[in-house]
Structure 1
Amino acid sequence: MNTIRNIFIGCIAIITLNSCENDATITSYRGKVKFETISISSKLPGRITKIYVEEGQEVKKGDTLAFIDIPEVRAKITQADGAIKAAKGQLDMAYNGATNDQLNQINGQINASQAQLEFAQESFKRMQAMYQDSLISQQQFDEVKMKLAMAKAQVEALEAKRNEATNGARSEQIDQAKGQLDRAMGAREEVLSASHEKYIIAPTDMSVETISLTEGELLTPGYTLFHGYEKSSVYFRFTVPESKVYDFEVGKTLRLVNPYTQAELDAKIVAIKQLAKYADITSTAPLYELGESIYELKIVPTTKPADQLFYLNATILIKE
């Protein structure tokens, strides 16, 4: 009986020791490796014609990642070219005035209008005499009078048009034509700028972690096609409770160590911020006091760790 009791007590002791050892490894000085994330999308909708990279591939700034077919760009360039031609024609007409054929056409309209005016005047004279003799009504006389006024107005309008064509366009019309041309040129530049969006370009040296779509699929504006990390932007994040945060301050230099390779590097704290309320200590973290707030340390290397290899979310420790 004593033997069984001793064995039971020994087992309890072993379990307790193992539990203590596991707790000892959970410290407030354990952090994670992080990289600046990069999300690449398109400004315009289009169909993915070609993807030139694969997940996990390292790319350089300026490398072409994908080609997007945007049919609307070709149509808009054609429209913009047509608008430019029309605007140039309006501006040339404003500068040069009317052509001889246009002047001849206006003169012909004036001659026809003058003939109508002469006929209206003769009709008015006859109707006026008949009205004075009470042979026609007041309404009939008013109708003839109105037709005469309309004929005069038409002749005056055509003569004004001929004078404008002869003397050239007003400065306001020239400015208007220039504005239309500038707007058409701007629209074409906008389309040409959009045409460059057919090529998805790497904005910096990065590693491609995920590719959201495949060739042949439709890419909508703002949808992330490539997601990756800027490997040269390594930094570290540590979370500490409020009882430990006073051991740190912004600008403080620390010595970090990789627990697996034992490689060390110098780094400094660049930011300390409180995490959201949901990150407060609970009963699932037995090493800390309940209700303690959690703070996050952002730590960056003071020298470029070119000879060290880091993986996202790998563990890093503060050397005490």
Structure 2
Amino acid sequence: MNTYKTILLGTFSILTLNSCSNDKITENRGQVKFETVSVSSKIGGRIQKIFVQEGQTVKKGDTLAQMNIPEVNAKMMQAEGAITAAKGQLNMADNGATAEQISQIDGQLNSAQAQLDFAQESFNRLQNMYRDSLVSQQQFDEVRMKLNMAKAQVKGLSAKRKEITKGTRSEQREQAQGQLDRALGAKEEVLSAADEQYLIAPADMSIETISLVEGELLTPGYTLFNGYKTNSIYFRFTIPESKIYDFEVGKELVVLNPYTKEETRSKIVAIKQLAQYADITSTSPLYELSESIYELKVVPVADISKQKFYTNATVLLKK
């Protein structure tokens, strides 16, 4: 009986030791990372069509989604109308009055001159009669008032004809040019908004998450697509201050995949300090909690096209 107990205890001890050996924590444990890409819209609209799926790989410039922005068409019509009106004002300022406008003002001026001549004759006639007391003071004042009005009308029309034949004032042309520039700027703004109805991939990337579905409203700045930039892999290691002096930017390392046993020649490109509450790559770090923590950003320098990596998968530094 004691023999069986001894055998059982021995077997259990061996299994326990093997288990402990397999669960051993390595202080140089890190994670596989990819540069993230977020795609959002500058303007709001309803999602009309989504052209990609989660997990799909796309190229830079591919259309990811289309939005429905009905305000764009209405604003475009307004901008086109403003441009047409502004061009008309500028042409009028450049060309001055037309022959028809000059002929029209000449006709008005001739009519006013005829009225002035008649008013002058009437005034002269009544002035002699007024001296002979044949008309009242009121009758004479009325004729004099009509004469003054006729003179003012002729003077005003003469000044107007002089202005339109002399040419447009520079201030009027500058005003017309400013209105045209403003209308053209409004059109460019509308064209920019029209381009925003298509969400375009900013880089070669894999689509990881799609936040909304077709028919939902996308607000400005809200991220619709999240993904990882293709060929942007790097490795992230957290190192305590007691070990950080073993590393420096530019130093080459060998990163080991503990599952496939593949090795990747890499180089440290950045070292930065992490906050105490930051994400640590080792779940049970072998260092004092009072130590400062640093992050190594390590990028491959060898060809990894034949290797397969998954985000946040564990990798080790080979000594």
Per-residue CA deviations over 1:136-194 (Å, capped at 9, x if unaligned) read: 9xxxx9xx999998886665444332212122213343333233223322322332232
Structure 1 position 119, deviation (Å): 6.3
Q: Residues 286 and 179 (structure 1 numbering): CA distance in 2 closer, same or farther, change over 3 Å?
A: closer
State the match for 1:235 in structure 2: 234
Aligned counterparts, 1:1-320, within 5 A: 21=21, 25-107=24-106, 110=109, 115=115, 156-279=155-278, 287-320=286-319
In structure 2, the CA distance between the partners of 1:279 and 1:200, relative to structure 1 (3 Å rule), is: closer
Indicate the percent of aligned positions where both proteins have the same amino acid.
65
TM-score (norm 1): 0.79
Q: Distance in 2 between matches of 1:280 and 1:301?
A: 22
Kept in 1: contact 2:41–2:220 (CA 8 A): yes
Over the aligned positions, Cα root-mean-square deviation in angstroms equals 4.0
Q: Secondary structure at the match of 1:25?
A: coil
1:66 positional shift: 0.7
- CA contact under 8 A between 2:27 and 2:286: conserved in structure 1? no
- Kept in 2: contact 1:60–1:202 (CA 8 A): yes
Q: What residue identity is the alignment partner of 2:42? A: K
The question of whether the paired residues in 2 share the 8 Å contact of 1:61 and 1:205 is answered with yes
Compute the displacement of 1:195 (Å). Answer: 1.3
Instruction: List per-residue Cα deviations over 1:26-76 (Å, max 9, x = no partner).
Output: 222111111110000112211111101111111111211111111111111
Displacement of 1:83 after TM fit? 1.1
Q: Which amino acid in the other structure matches residue 313 of structure 2?
A: A
Aligned-partner Cα distance in 2 for 1:15–1:153: 120
Q: Distance in 1 between matches of 2:80 and 2:88?
A: 13
CA distance in 1, matches of 2:153, 2:315: 91
The alignment partner of 2:233 has SS state of strand
| Distance verdict in 2 for CA 1:296–1:152, change over 3 Å | farther
Residues 117 and 152 of structure 1 are in contact (CA less than 8 Å); yes or no, is this contact kept in structure 2?
no
Flag structure 2 segments of 5+ consecutive residues without an equivalent.
Answer: none
TM-score, with normalisation over the residues of structure 2? Answer: 0.79
Q: CA deviation at 1:101?
A: 3.9
Residue-pair matches, total: 302
Give a deviation string over 1:101-145, Cα, whole Å, max 9, x none.
4334444655676658986996xx98xx99xxxx99xxxx9xx99
